[in-house]
Chain A
Amino acid sequence: MSDLLKMSLSEVAAAIRRKRVSSLEVTRACIERAKAVQPQVNCFIALEEEEALRAARAADRAVKRHAKLGRLHGVPLAHKDMFYRADRVCTGGSKVLQDYRPTDTATVVHRLASAGALWLGRLNMSELAANPTGHNPFFGDCCNPWNPAHITGGSSSGSAACVAARACFGALGSDTGGSVRLPAAANGVVGLKPTYGRVSRHAILPRAWSFDTVGPLARTVRDCARLMEVIAGADPLDPTAGSAPVPRYERLLGREIRGMKIGVPRNHYYDGVTTDVYRAMQESLAVLKFLGARIIELDVPDPGVAIRLANVIGQVESSSVCANWMRERPQDLSLVVRTRSEAGFAIPAVTYLEALNARPRITAQFVQSVFGRIDALHAPVMPMPVPTRAETMPEGTADIMTLLAALTRNTRPFNFLGLPALSVPAGFADNGLPIGFQLVGRPFGEEVLLQIGDAYQRETDWHEHEPKIVSG
């Protein structure tokens, strides 16, 4: 593997800008790497080699003529195959969309391009963003670069696996119930689920409108901060995108976290936690304490309520998204998607609206009771080590719902609450697979999470470990 690929996104962007390396060299290295890992990891649905090389040459010409350069100038990124580009195929990881060519381009895609980022290809994902394992029966499972027998987590499976395998420097994913944080944790990379409304969802494949968020995955918190700064902010094409000013996230990094109050929930989030995950959580808290943070144990409002109401809302909305496919071509949907789409058809509209109307009140109660006492909440992303693909292959419809509940029990509450959450690598489980913790903040408080996560990464080196597939 080229040494160029050992650099972080921020480092490679600086190197291109200072002419220490060309975008063409970097892009070629990524393409070579992508081709090398694809047979084992299957993180790409489509590698757009020729276009990426053309764009890299253009980026190098811009550097030579001293053009004004964006903050991602010449940096190859790749994205979950659900971000639309006008008249370009976007599959959503599904057979039903294998020839779909949207008419519009996602706002986040425009913003990344304006900042100079290159588009390396379209990444694998769970079918229609509907599965937290990362399984995909149509395009083939995306496999964990740390051990291909294990799941990547999903639904942004390819985004996390591609970044972890050093085949690109950053990727966009989406998080409706944990779909950025779960694969980030399972692959040993950083993933940020922003506040609901912080990033435009215009021209992306919907899963459940009330919960869908777009977030970055990268190897470092700093890289995620840079990507967030580029993609966040109001958008006249998305009425849910809030108008709050976007902080200069990256500039706020590097500050001390001394005196910050980090909460550890006594209830729910450690239920059934395995010894190795618990140990990793304790060690990460010890690091944060060493850095001057105050660790405060507290009871948080019962997440069970949020999970049950999230089920009501999510099932109805995802059933609505899939309604025509369920009616006209159910044979082209996987068992998981069909199973997850059925219950929504039986939920009364009033039940759905009652759940939606309860959401602001429950969120306000949570924020006031929790973030009145602490700056960020710390919890495991998954209470267990990353399972194998075989262990998570559903044999029946009952298995699917049990599996979904187990994998997402620590992530889904924060989608219901609309809160930002950052997944940070925190070591390895006994099975050799990565473990991650999540930091959760008050609405639009991403900068606090990034600040804490960055301080943690400056003190630890978990994010610098490379999966065997890279070293081998």
Chain B
Amino acid sequence: MRKSVDPAAVRRLTGQLRGIRLSQKRAEQIAAELARMNAAARLEGGLNDFNDQPMNFGVVLAGLAKR
């Protein structure tokens, strides 16, 4: 599931879209981190339902409070 992320792509993305300049070394660190995070989100996202929405979290917590 985990796919590598190209550090050069990370540099271009943060530079062109956000104006954040990264060193090559830092871009490599972020790329590795991004690959891990993206893989986890895609894996869990695959179990999501199209009706899910982030604002439901508070409602779910309140429901789980009941014994």
Q: A-side interface residues toward B, CB under 8 Å?
A: 195-197, 210, 240, 242, 244, 305, 308-309, 311-312, 315, 323, 326-327, 339, 342-343, 345-348, 351-364, 367-368, 397-398, 401, 418, 442-445
Contact = CB atoms under 8 A, between A and B. Distances in A.
Lowest 4 A-B CB distances belong to which pairs?
A354-B45, A308-B40, A358-B44, A444-B65
Given A312-B37, A353-B54, A363 B48 contact: no
Q: Is the interface of A mostly helix, strand, loop or mixed?
A: helix
Interface in B28-47: 29-30, 33-34, 36-38, 40-42, 44-45, 47
Q: Is the interface of B mostly helix, strand, loop or mixed?
A: helix
Contacts of A242: 58, 61-62
B54 A327 contact: no
A242 B58 CA distance: 7
A346 B34 contact: yes
B20 A309 contact: no
Contact of B57 (A347, A351, A354, A359): A359
A353 B48 CA distance: 10
B64 A312 contact: no
Given A242-B58, A327-B18, A342-B26, 19 more contacts: A197-B58, A197-B61, A244-B65, A308-B41, A309-B41, A343-B30, A343-B34, A345-B17, A346-B34, A351-B37, A351-B45, A354-B45, A357-B48, A358-B41, A358-B52, A360-B52, A360-B57, A401-B29, A442-B64
A291 B26 CA distance: 52
Contacts of A418: 57, 61
Contacts of A353: 54
B6 to A, nearest CB: 11
15 contacts: A197-B58, A244-B62, A305-B44, A308-B40, A308-B41, A312-B37, A315-B37, A327-B19, A346-B14, A352-B41, A355-B45, A358-B41, A363-B57, A442-B64, A443-B65
B10 A346 contact: yes
A327 B15 CA distance: 11
A89 B6 CA distance: 43
A303 to B, nearest CB: 12
Contacts of B67: 442
Contacts of B56: 360
Interface of B: 10, 13-14, 17-20, 22, 25-26, 29-30, 33-34, 36-38, 40-42, 44-45, 47-48, 52-54, 56-58, 60-62, 64-65, 67
B58 A309 contact: no
Contacts of B47: 358, 361
B45 A357 contact: yes
A403 to B, nearest CB: 14
A312 B30 CA distance: 12
A138 to B, nearest CB: 22
A311 B64 contact: no
A397 B37 CA distance: 18
Nearest to B44: A358
Contacts of A312: 37-38, 40-41
Contacts of A315: 37
Contact of A357 (B17, B38, B53): B53
A342 B22 contact: yes
Interface centre among A347, A363, A364 (most CB of B within 10 A): A347
Contacts of B62: 197, 242, 244, 443-444
Contacts of B37: 308-309, 311-312, 315, 343, 347, 351
A443 B48 CA distance: 22
Nearest to B60: A360
A356 B60 CA distance: 13
Nearest to B21: A330
A357 B65 contact: no
Nearest to B17: A345
B48 to A, nearest CB: 5
Given A308-B36, A354-B44, A361-B48, A346 B54 contact: no
B64 A364 contact: yes
Nearest to B5: A346
Contacts of B42: 351, 354
Contacts of B52: 357-358, 360-361
Nearest to A400: B29
Contacts of B36: 308
B34 to A, nearest CB: 6
Nearest to B57: A360
Given A357-B52, A360-B60, A401-B33, A342 B20 contact: yes
Contacts of B54: 210, 353, 356-357, 359
A361 B44 CA distance: 10
B21 to A, nearest CB: 9
B64 to A, nearest CB: 5
Given A342-B30, A358-B44, A351 B38 contact: yes
Contacts of A356: 54, 57
